[in-house]
Amino acid sequence: MRSILVLNGPNLNLLGTRQPEVYGQTTLKMIEDLCVAHGEAIGLRVEHLQSNHEGALIDAIHNARETHEGVVLNAGAYTHTSIALMDAISSVQLPVIEVHLSNIHAREPFRHKSCIAPVVVGQICGFGAHSYVLALDALAKHLEESAAS
């Protein structure tokens, strides 16, 4: 079974109580459980990690080289600022799907730019917790197609 890392960045540990009008009522634990269950249903073993620290997210991406075949990443606000995260993704041979609960393109202009978008397989945003399900499906398909080619 393929192993996937679902990696969540800053402030996402507060989901459920953080700006529910923007991010919904779903907690991070509910999203992680959803990812594990959906992963099982489509043949992926899902592990998950959350950190509020940029360096820890970079370490997790580096470490995933040894342990996982792909990453679903919600980098939170580091999406919009972190060249270091972009470089980390570029430095590993792992497919990464960028995910956001909210539609970042319909929000404040500073959220429209993603530093990591140029180095990920693709971006999914705006579907709340279901964005993660869509990202796992996209990653599974991408890995199947890569294996076949």
106, 122 Cβ separation under 8 angstroms: no
Considering the complex, what minimum distance in angstroms separates the CB of residue 82 from ligand DQA? 11
* E strand or H helix that includes residue 98: strand 96-100
C-alpha span between 68 and 79 (Å, rounded):
21
DSSP state, residue 101:
S
- Residue 53 annotated in active site: no
Active site residue 78: no
The one segment of 29-37, 42-50, 69-77, 87-95 that binds ligand DQA by CB under 6 A: 69-77
Determine the size of the site formed for ligand DQA (CB under 6 A): 10
Does position 76 interact with ligand DQA (CB under 6 A)? The reply is yes
Among 77, 84, 106, 117, binds ligand DQA (CB under 6 A): 77
77 vs 84 by CB, closer to ligand DQA: 77
Residue with Cβ nearer ligand DQA (12 or 140) = 12
Strands 44-50 vs 2-8: parallel, antiparallel or unpaired: parallel
Which sign does the torsion angle of CA 135, 136, 140, 143 carry?
A: positive
Q: What are the residue numbers of the active site?
A: 23, 100
